[in-house]
Amino acid sequence: MNGDRAAYRNVYIYDASDNERLLGGLHQNGSVTDATFLDMLDLLLVTHFPIRIQDRFSCREVRRNERPLEPGIYDVYCRGPIKLSDEPWLPRLVSPQDSHPETTFSDSVRARDGKCVISGVADRSGVEAAHIFPRDNEDYWLAHDLARCITDAEGRAAAAKLSSAQNGLALLAHIRQLWDQYLISVNPDDNHKVVVFALDTDSLDGRTLDPACRDPADPHRASDALLRWHYRQAVLANVRGTGEPVFGDATSGTDVLSEIEHAPYAKERFQMEIAARLRGFGNDD
């Protein structure tokens, strides 16, 4: 996968008052409707007046409906200035497969799901337990009280709730990598639709998250609140401005730490890389 999130965009968003000012864009594989596109813009754009979105060449106005968004250039009209949201994006690494695969977390997630819940493939040997919220960002988890999203671990410390099955999905290894990079996500407010923000080489875009992981009667079901958090992060990472950097495997290369110093999010990435390496000294589940 190209490290530039904007490399494959076929939808571009501009400020109509300055048609050279890029506000964002995305790669439309087919699942993004006009309505979900407007929802994304509500998240990304800050204005004091209503906005109107129009295709630059066809002049078609985007309205709230279930029509698939057409690739193209879209201009945002507003009576006042348009600002991009400065909501922080949480970087995350592609976390390596557990060195101790038979952990409580991975056992629980794989037993609950029984298959890759995005692709539907039931290859248990190739299915890994992916964290919805990254386990290497405990400080953020605690600061934003995301432990409140876990309802099956009463009495456990907030940090320990990171290892609840409610914070996990069973995914094929390569899909797990896309998940960790926010290149694929699930919108729980759109019938748990799978959205692929990169090239959809596996025909996953527009699928529905498998019901096995979200049975309302299962107290260990995946948390919709955390899925909603992940989807929001994916929109921020892929659609806002020119997009955020794509980080690779936390253990790839021996000199990766020396390359971080002048890279984006150097401090955050350094902390995550160290946490990933320290994890190898013990079982964090």
In angstroms, how far is CA 97 from the centroid of its own chain?
A: 19
Judged against a pLDDT cut of 50, whether residue 264 lies above it is answered with: yes
How many other C-beta atoms lie within 10 A of the C-beta of residue 270? 14
Q: Give per-residue pLDDT as tens, 1-12.
A: 557 899 999 999
The predicted pLDDT at position 284 comes to 46
- Coil, helix or strand for 94? strand
* Interval 98-116: pLDDT, tens: 544 447 899 999 999 999 9
Q: Tell me the backbone φ, ψ of residue 268, rounded to 5 degrees.
A: -65, -40
| Helix residue spans in the chain (DSSP H) | 34-44, 104-113, 138-143, 173-180, 224-239, 256-260, 266-278
Calculate the alpha carbon distances from 129 to 33, 107, 108, 172 in Å: 30, 8, 9, 9
- Residue 5's SS3 state is coil
Query: How far apart, in whole angstroms, are the C-alpha atoms of residue 261 and residue 16?
Result: 37
What is the pLDDT, as a whole number, of residue 273? 56
Whether the CB-CB separation of 195 and 156 falls below 8 Å is answered with: no
pLDDT band at 281 (very low <50, low <70, confident <90, very high): very low
Full-model pTM:
0.89
DSSP state of 282: S
Summarised one tens digit per residue, pLDDT across range 194-228 is 999 999 999 999 999 999 999 999 999 999 999 99
Within 8 A by CB and 6+ apart from 235, the residues are 40, 43, 44
pLDDT tens digit string along 118-159?
999 998 778 999 999 999 899 999 999 999 999 998 889 999
